[in-house]
Structures are given as structure tokens and as C-alpha cells.
Amino acid sequence: MIDKQVISTALAVADIPDGACVMIGGFGEAGSPTELIHALIDQGAKNLTIINNNTGNGEIGLAALIGNGQVKKMICSYPRSRHSKIFPELYRAGKIELELVPQGTLAERIRAGGAGIPAFYTATTVGTQLADGKETRTIDGRDYVLEYGLQADYALIKCEYADLTGNLTYNKTARNFNPLMCMAANITIVQARKLVGPGAIDPEHVITPNIFVDHIVEISTPLIEADLIAENRRYP
Amino acid sequence: MAQLAASDIPDRSYVNLGIGLPELVAKYVPKGREFIYHTENGLLGMGPAPELGEEDPELINAGKKPVTTNPGASFFHHGDSFAMIRGGHIDVCVLGAMQVSQQGDLANWSTGTPDAIPAVGGAMDLIAGVKTIYVITQHTTKNGTPKLLEQCTYPLTGKGVVTRVYSNLAIIDVTSRGFQLRQLAPGITFQEVSDRTKASLMPLEQEP
């Protein structure tokens, strides 16, 4: 019987090397695999390229990974928010690279990467400075910009239910980028709130099929970032 | 502004509301009409904010604020969510603006200053993909600088996309001939609106 369970977050992220490209699921804290990110901080891999919609909040999770000096480059759509301070400071100091990608283009680039589509045309960014230097093409009288698919060495994912074979379901708007990233990474590492036996998830309800999942850690009571931020907590 | 914008949105429209002023549109849905709200982080059928203590950190809107679901709601991933946007399935998007040009260009994501952290989110996808783009904005900035211009000076979010502007002074259509006054706010004159608009403004067309 296939069993993709790993007993600890430390083991799950142990092989991520310096210089890796890592997709991290989540939109703000919803769907953020905070425990896996903290394990990556403990593990210490450096010069990482991170793909996430945002850049983390407070001094925990993704923000703490960036603050720990492990991230060379961020690919994201919205690198600032109310509680985000670490990335803005490093960016202004010229200590971190940023590739700014509109949110829908980011999602589609990840989906394309996972689906074996090297590039696609979109009307998003036409006539703006984010289209500067990009190939364009007129199709049926409308202008489009060429965007390339994104792939990663690893993806860190949070889900609700996982079965031991790697089938996943998600919780509400915590789904966001997670299913796309599962498809686009060479190795996909998942933290699940509940790990169940094969067959416990109705095949009709599976959101991410197990072919896209490699390792699963059960984290039954995940951290709530908003609470930690309210308490001014930091990691480590 | 929000009430007037809401009254121009047809029944059963799929609507995406930007963060801030545009969110108020949901409070003024005309009687007998139903809008289905899309939030780009993966929810169709978004409901109002929850009661205090009922917030769920995994049920939020694009502004990362807690929301609820209405009966008939659905969750989906970002790929599907932006397929709804890019594929032209969302009927109306109401957004805020820093600047709007008489050609319908919109600037609302960056002032372009060197120390600004550029952050675009889903704004460029929304205006490229949604059929009708309404802007809700104060007519001028806090220090009185016009926001409706011949040309935007800030970096563009998109070109030729805005259909109509709802400001605190007037409702203005963006036409192929430029800004066309559609309705004045109570107690406001055409001259007052024109003086605060840095582009030519066509007056109300007289009934023949």
C-alpha cells in the first residue's frame, strides 16, 4: 500500500538544497503551510527563490524565512500588506530581488508550468510597464503579452484532508494557489490537518489527485498566523 | 456613489468589488435585484462580514478580511478564479482609482516613486478581463489635485478600460469622444465639476 506520510516537518524538508526554487501555497495566511516554512527556517537552505502571492506577515512564516536571509528572490503579485514589514525593508535596502507578476498571470503561469505548457498569451498587462520587453502578438484584433510557465523544485502546501496515497481536499479560501503549485513542483510536500486512510476521501471530492503529491505530514492544530502577529511573536 | 453604482448593475450580475470604497456597493443592492459576488482568492457567492467572534482565518476576501458564504456559494482555486475573470465571465468590476484618463486608461496600483514597493495583486487581470469596469473615487485627491485627466501620469493598470466614473461630484461616462457628464451630485454645478477635471468634460446632452 502506498504511504506518503513523513513523521516530521524536519524530515519532510530535509532535502531542499541551497538555491532551490520553492513554491509556497497560501493567500495571506489562508492556506499557508506555516509549520513547513518554519521547518525550512530550521533547516537553513539559502539563496532560495520563493513563489507565493505575498511576502508574509509579521515575523513568522514566510516573513520569517525572508527575514532569516534565506531568500534571494521573490516572485509574487502583492509584496506588501498591513502587517508586512520585513520584505519592504530588505527590498528598499536592495537586499532581495522581486519579480512582480499580476495575480491571475501568476496563477496561470503556475498552472501552465504544471500542465506542460511552456508559455501562453494574455491581455493582462498590455499597455503597462509590466509588459515592457515582453513579446506581444495581436490575435483577432486584440493585443496580448507572452508569459512563460513557472515550475519549481519543491512546493510547500497546506491542505485539510490528505489520504495516505496523497489525494487532497482543502478548506474554504485556503485552497487558492495550493492545487496549482502541487502540479508545478518536482517534489510536493504537504501539511494536512487530518491524514486519513485510502478511500476515506470520496473520489468525487478529491481536489488534488495523488499523482501531484510526494510527502505528507499531519499537523492537526496548525498555527494561526493572525494570533501570533497579535502577540508580536516571531520565529524562531 | 456606491448607491448610484449599485443601481446601474443589472439583476443577477456576477460582480467583483475592489478593496475600500467599492466594497460599499454591496450595502446598496436595489430591492428585487440579486448580485453574485466573486472574490479572486477563490469564492463565488461571497456574503457579508461575519459576526464578531465568528471569523474564520481560512474564509477571507481579496482584501484578506473575514467574510461569509451565501447559499449557492462555491470555492475554487486561483486558476479557475482567474479563468472566470480572464475568460470574460464576470460582468462588472467596481474599482478605486488614483487616476483615470479621458481615453479610459486607469492608474491604481503604483505612484511610480522610487521607494514605493510595487504591488499589483489582481487589478491588471480584472480590468483586462471583466466586461464592464466602473470606478468609484473622490473627484480629486485630498489636496485638490484632479484625478480625471487627459493622460495619466502614474503607471497604468490598463489602457482604455474604464466605462464610467462615480465621483463625489458627478457620474461621468468615458466615451470615444472623452469624458461625458451623465449626472451631477445634488447641489453641484457643471462648472464646479469641469473646474476639478483636468480634461475637457462634455455637458449633459439636452433632450431635443
Say whether pLDDT at A138 is over 90: yes
- pLDDT for A45: 98
Q: Least CB-CB distance to A126: which of B59, B69, B128?
A: B128
- Per-residue pLDDT tens for B2-31? 999 999 999 999 999 998 889 999 999 999
For the question of whether the overall pTM of this predicted structure is more than 0.90, the answer is yes
Is some CB atom of chain B closer than 8 A to the CB atom of A205? Answer: no
Q: Are A201 and A169 a contacting pair, CB within 8 Å?
A: yes
| Chain A: residue whose CA lies nearest to B88 | A123
Say whether pLDDT at B207 is over 70: no
The rounded distance, in Å, linking the Cα atoms of A229 and B137 is: 32
- The CATH homologous superfamily of the domain defined by A9-117+150-230: Glutaconate Coenzyme A-transferase (3.40.1080.10)
- pLDDT for B44: 98
Taking phi over 0 as left and psi of -120 to 50 as alpha, with beta for the rest, B195 belongs to alpha
Q: Are B36 and B10 a contacting pair, CB within 8 Å?
A: no
Instruction: Indicate yes or no: CB of B39 within 8 angstroms of CB of A173.
Output: yes
- Per-residue pLDDT tens for B91-122? 999 999 999 999 999 999 988 888 788 899 99
Instruction: Indicate yes or no: CB of A130 within 8 angstroms of CB of B57.
Output: no
Instruction: Indicate yes or no: CB of B86 within 8 angstroms of CB of A123.
Output: yes
Say whether pLDDT at B187 is over 60: yes
Residues in chain A, overall count: 236
Q: Which of B4, B79, B3 is nearest to B41 (CA)?
A: B79
Q: Provide the pLDDT confidence category of residue B206 given band limits of 50, 70 and 90.
A: low
Instruction: Indicate yes or no: CB of B129 within 8 angstroms of CB of A123.
Output: yes
Sign for the CA dihedral angle at A121, A122, A126, A131 comes to negative
| Chain B: residue whose CA lies nearest to A57 | B64
Amino acid found at B2: A
Specify the higher pLDDT residue, A83 or B157: B157
The rounded distance, in Å, linking the Cα atoms of B87 and B156 is: 22
- Per-residue pLDDT tens for B109-162? 988 888 788 899 999 999 999 999 999 999 999 999 999 999 999 999 999 999
Q: From chain B, pick out residues whose CB is under 8 angstroms from the CB of A117.
A: none
> Chain B interface, mutation test: which of A121, A128, A159, most B Cβ atoms within 10 Å?
A128
| Burial zone of B106 (CB within 10 Å; 0-12 exposed, 13-18 middle, 19+ buried) | buried
Is B40 annotated in the active site?
yes
CATH 3.40.1080.10 for domain B2-202, yes or no, is: yes
Q: Which of B188, B123, B179, B176 is nearest to B149 (CA)?
A: B179
CB proximity under 8 Å: A 72-101 to B: 77-81, 87-88, 91-92, 98, 100
Q: Least CB-CB distance to B120: which of A102, A225, A226?
A: A102
Q: Which of B76, B56, B80, B85 is nearest to B68 (CA)?
A: B56
Instruction: Indicate yes or no: CB of B121 within 8 angstroms of CB of A78.
Output: yes
Q: From chain A, pick out residues whose CB is under 8 angstroms from the CB of B115.
A: 92
Question: How many Cβ contacts (< 8 angstroms) between chains A and B?
Answer: 141
Q: Is the ipTM of this complex over 0.85?
A: yes
Gap from B152 CA to chain A (nearest CA, Å): 12
Mean pLDDT of A204-208: 98
Q: Are B183 and B202 a contacting pair, CB within 8 Å?
A: no
Q: Which of B115, B93, B24, B55 is nearest to A94 (CA)?
A: B115
Instruction: Indicate yes or no: CB of A102 within 8 angstroms of CB of B76.
Output: no
Q: From chain B, pick out residues whose CB is under 8 angstroms from the CB of A127.
A: 105, 156, 158-160
Taking phi over 0 as left and psi of -120 to 50 as alpha, with beta for the rest, B125 belongs to alpha
Mean pLDDT of A82-100: 92
Q: Write down the domain spans for chain B.
A: 2-202
Q: From chain B, pick out residues whose CB is under 8 angstroms from the CB of A175.
A: 42, 75-77
Percentage of residues in chain A with pLDDT exceeding 90?
A: 96
